[in-house]
Amino acid sequence: MFEWDWNNLRKIQAHGIGREEVEPALQNDPIAIYEQDLPEELRFLYYGETGRGRLMAVVFTERLESIRVVTAYDLDAGQKQDYLRRRLQGE
């Protein structure tokens, strides 16, 4: 289950992304890139792909039984290369 509110929707919309793209990107076998252990919470960065082939980075945290997206944005050229290389290697 995803947790959405005005604040995180505003952040992804600033990057031209809607929640209908973020959720599938995290459900379609995303690639874990790193964890960031902040004082208030643990955050994760994943690279994912929408059903239409849009590549994006999604930063999120887990809260109880839900996933709260912090932000999401399109991969830049270097990130796309990294994503495709990892996919070719079987990740």
pLDDT digits (tens, 9 = 90+) for 43-89: 999 999 999 999 999 999 999 899 999 999 999 999 999 999 999 99
pLDDT score for 81: 97
Q: Please tell me the predicted confidence (pLDDT) of residue 91.
A: 87
Structural domains of the chain, count? 1
The three-state (H, E, C) secondary structure of 12-72, written as one string: HHCCCCCHHHHHHHHHCCCEEEEEEECCCCEEEEEEEECCCCCEEEEEEEEECCEEEEEEE
Mean pLDDT of 28-48: 95
Q: Which domain holds residue 24?
A: 2-88
Q: Are 30 and 58 in contact (CB under 8 A)?
A: yes
Determine contact, residues 70/60, Cβ cutoff 8 Å.
yes
Structure tokens at 36: 């960031």
